[in-house]
Amino acid sequence: MKPIPHLYAVVLAGGSGTRFWPLSRELYPKQLLKVLGDRTLIQQTVQRVRPIIPIERTLVVTGAGHADAIRMQLDGANGVRKENILTEPVARNTAAAIGWAAAAIRRLDSDGIMLVMPADHVIPDPAKFRRAIALATRVARDGKLVTFGIKPTRPETGYGYIGVEGRRPLLSQGGLKALAVSRFVEKPDLNRAKRYVRAGRFYWNSGIFVWRADAILDEIEAALPKLAHGLKRFGKAIGTPNEHQALDRLYKEVEAISIDHGVLQKSRRAAVIPAPFRWSDVGNWGSLDEVAQTDRAGNVRIGRIVDIGSRGSVLYGEHRLVATIGLKDMVVVDTADATLVCPRVTCGDRVFDLHVNESTAIPQKTPHRLENPGEILLDIIEVQCGDYVGEDDIVRLADDYDRIEKR
């Protein structure tokens, strides 16, 4: 495919470095890691769209703590220009980041169109992704706010959902179609997620967007007027001695809110393209099997791994040889200075892992199990909701710890 005129890439590269510990750290979050392949996730994100977006039309929005590492990873003769790395003084979620990038693009190109992508998503089908972008660009030229919807494979409660309106496409191309959006839904409970999957008219929100820079700025002005005012004030200060002070003031005053919640849920211009490509936000170690190759027993094995008889486990060795025997639904991650061994938490038919200071919601009557195989005591804070919060209605499906009094 040839470069698409007026199309700019905006890579959102925040992140706190907690979900892929110990491989990721606070100053070295997931997008800077080589989780899959020989390139880091942010390098893969930029390279994925190079055939249709020249590197000079690529912008990265990140925090001060990550800016230098990102410059190093995206450096070189064909790297992202220094002035195209927008460094936020503090994190204010995606609305502020996208608003700043949109204002920058509009100053460069009055017809500029933005492809907004998180830096840490995995898309193993880049050619299909680019074809979907080509259709999204056509739809966005008419002022629509386009996102890509992922067909649900399970009633996931960790993603937002997008409902579509009618069956007649707004535009179609090469077997792909763009549909009008009826509503955006925040992360639902399990029962609602099941209804959405059964209905067949809902998609997971991928968090990847395409729209005209001026269109999203108009929507921000309508939905988030304080952010719009701050962006205009900052725009007047660009190139003056007060530029950095104006940026600090903008980020000090604006609300920390996502573009989904702040703008898209209120917009009547949203459209969705059902994604023809595989996708994962690789939210934690347990989700790697969505995009990584697995062996016959369902294990993901990355690095120097020797295994006998394990099933459904994620096994990662950064440098050293890692040997495992007979594991089931476990995560083992070995790095130069730390090793993580933990189970995947089971809730209903889902198995996943939780880290320090993370939480999960367990819908009513959902079978669930939590394991801690380590030697350090685990402090669990349980919050019960509802009309009755007693313990005598618990049904134990298994009693490995002999908590039921034997008679």
* pLDDT tens per residue across span 329-342: 999 999 888 898 98
The per-residue pLDDT for 276 is 95
Distance CA 400, CA 379 (A): 19
pLDDT digits (tens, 9 = 90+) for 287-316: 788 888 899 999 999 999 999 999 999 999
Distance CA 30, CA 14 (A): 10
Angle of helix 93-108 relative to helix 225-237, nearest 10 degrees, comes to 40
Q: Mapping DSSP to helix (H, G, I), strand (E, B) and coil, where does residue 43 land?
A: helix
pLDDT higher than 60, residue 36: yes
Q: What is the mean pLDDT of residues 207-227?
A: 97
Percent of the chain whose pLDDT exceeds 90 = 62
**Residues composing the chain:** 407
Q: Is the CB of residue 298 less than 8 Å from the CB of residue 289?
A: yes
The per-residue pLDDT for 400 is 55
pLDDT higher than 60, residue 346: no
Helix, strand, coil percent values for the chain (each to nearest 5): 30, 25, 45
pLDDT higher than 80, residue 364: no
The per-residue pLDDT for 25 is 75
What does 183-209 look like in DSSP terms, one character per residue?
EEEPSP-HHHHHHHHHHS-EEEEEEEE
Q: Is the CB of residue 85 less than 8 Å from the CB of residue 64?
A: no
Q: Which domains does the chain have, with CATH numbers?
A: 7-274 (3.90.550.10), 284-407 (no CATH)
